[in-house]
Chains A and B, each alone.
Chain A
Amino acid sequence: MLPTELRASLAEQIASVDHPRELLVDVMFAVQDHYGYLSDQAVEEVADLLGMTPLEVEELATFYTFVYRHRVGKYVIHVCDSVICWMDGHESLVEHLERKLEIKMGETTPDGLFTLLPVCCIGYCDRAPAILINKKVYGPLTPEKIDEILAKLQGEA
């Protein structure tokens, strides 16, 4: 269940716009931030808040890259695999991340800290190869820089 306070603030936000469903992405993000991902229960809660059916929400939740319908780690690492990053060593970057974290693309570390996911061009081709961690961009990357970033995040967790 969503905490009453969060529910109330979302309801207030929804009441302030012309059409509730225009806030669908914002509400999905807020609920996802609370649970860590958009669980089945979360989909129903979002639907309920917006006066939509769970199916209508599901249709959008499964469509978007940054809505997670499965449990993800505290830090979601999106590795850009589009053409400029591909040219600038994306493959060895992925190999390094997989080796370092001991998981494959699409998996989460057993401690629940990191998830590895691919992503389409993130618009940082001037800083290729680049990745996003919780929507923050890092690049251009080398194996050493990745090690530094991961160590820092592990230290903060």
Chain B
Amino acid sequence: MPNNYPQVLFQNRKPDRITTLEEYQQSGGYRALADVLRNYSYKDVQEALVEAILLGRGGAAFPAGRKLMTIADDAPFPRYVVCNADEMEPGTFKDRVLIHADPHMIIEGMIIDGYGAKAEKGVIFIRPEYESAAKILEREIKIAKEAGFLGKNIMGTDYSLDIVVHRSAGRYICGEVTAQLNALMGRRPNPKQPPPYPTEKGLWDRPTVLQNVETLANIPHIIRNGPEWYKSLAKTETGAGTKIFCVSGRVNKPGCVELPIGVRLSEIIELHAGGMPAGSEYKACLPGGASTRYLSKEFYDIEMDFEPLRQVGHRLGTGAIMVFDHKTCLVGATLNLTEFFARESCGWCTPCREGLPYIRDLLARLEAGDGREELIPMLQQMSKHLWSSYCAFAPGAVSPVESLITYFEDEVRDHISQKQCPFK
């Protein structure tokens, strides 16, 4: 079935190339910026984003407008706006697709967000695996600047903003806000515990507002069409806007698709990801990257929106749906995910640095058929310890482990009683 829902972020998406500045402008691009610069105070921008209920699309779902509002009126300058293009959550590739589809939409969103923060310096932080996206952004930033949308006195107004692309050298923790700021300053990217929050003391101790690529791309549309229109895009009462879901794993058509917030998981898998391959039955999915909890069969029809998922103890995360079928061993999958987190832990605080390898070893024993009954409470207890770590990395890392035991304890026990992985 073709996707008949309104396409907002992907409205100009083409199969083989980016949308040029000219094409973006033909679709209404940079009109929101012109409107903002002429008719909006920086507080109006903040209010529009709050009213639209724009929640951060990078995984944490923090309200984008509220984030801007935490910058004090008398906060010092220069202020910074940072675009987080360090998408490293396993299963997540929506920002890469979005940058390759319509780079100017992100640039325009970033300028408006910067205006809402009175920022004069912008940085796009991008992972090294996305070198082609980094090159596209550098080229298009230059083109935007030549057209008067960036640089000094944007579109003849008092507002000035420059954007540079900052390449990372690759570590998952750099996606965490405070770690990313450290990385940008050439320091070891350990997270810092707020307060002070980055909007008070961020880059070089100046107010810094950081948003995900997809969050920023939404901003021009909210300004152009209004918060009410934006909210009406969602299928749920609690939701607003669309979401780019990237679906991978056991589906016939893995890829990125833009759908209303609140569309059901079953619809995404069956209609928009081509269904599951013949002979495969749905067992579980991770709904929003590796640091979310397995959604078992009982949630197959759940509305994919922040609030409905929260109410049943789950998170939408990045909207990266990884689908597992009945033939896939979830102990093995969880071992793989834990290996990822153990390797990517920055090592700064003890629960995370020591706890994750411990959990990995317990899972490895279970998977190898060396498990014993008492390993299950040990896994639970150790996972609990990780909640006392320094940043959100470790609680995210144990989400698959905890939900494995909640929903698939029988499968874990089968590994113990059969003294081997039942899927091998």
Contact = CB atoms under 8 A, between A and B. Distances in A.
A113 interface: no
B344 interface: yes
Contacts of A18: 204
A120 B343 contact: yes
A18 B186 CA distance: 12
Contacts of B131: 135-136
Interface stretch (B149-157, B168-176, B390-398): B168-176
Given A19-B204, A125-B254, A86 B322 contact: no
A118 B328 CA distance: 22
Interface stretch (A2-10, A58-66, A97-105, A145-153): A58-66
The 3 closest A-B pairs by CB, nearest first: A21-B186, A64-B169, A65-B170
Among A21, A119, A125, chain B packs the most CB atoms within 10 A around the CB of A125
A25 interface: yes
A79 interface: no
Interface in B286-333: 290, 320, 322, 324, 328, 332-333
Contact of B169 (A20, A52, A66, A125): A66
Contacts of B130: 123
Given A60-B186, A125-B322, A126-B246, A83 B336 contact: yes
Contacts of B91: 82-84, 121, 125
A128 interface: yes
A126 B340 contact: no
A122 B186 contact: no
What bracket does the count of chain B residues touching chain A fall in?
35 or more
Contacts of A25: 166-169, 183, 186
Interface string B181-202: 0011111110000000000000
B380 to A, nearest CB: 22
Interface in B69-125: 87-93, 96
Contacts of B254: 125-126, 128
What bracket does the count of chain A residues touching chain B fall in?
35 or more
A87 B324 contact: yes
Contacts of A29: 167, 169
Interface in A117-144: 119-126, 128, 132, 135-137
Contact of B88 (A21, A63, A120): A120
Contacts of A65: 128, 169-171
Contacts, number: 127
B249 interface: yes
Interface in B41-87: 87
Contacts of B188: 59-60, 63
Contacts of A26: 167
Interface string A71-96: 00000000001111011000000000
A87 B93 contact: no
Contacts of B267: none
Contacts of A82: 90-91, 290, 336-337, 340
A124 B322 CA distance: 13
A118 to B, nearest CB: 8
Among B186, B250, B328, chain A packs the most CB atoms within 10 A around the CB of B186
Interface string B245-263: 0101110001110000000
A25 B187 CA distance: 10
A83 B88 contact: no
Given A28-B169, A65-B170, A123 B344 contact: no
A120 B169 contact: no
A135 B343 CA distance: 20
B249 A123 contact: no
B353 interface: no
B221 interface: no
B138 interface: no
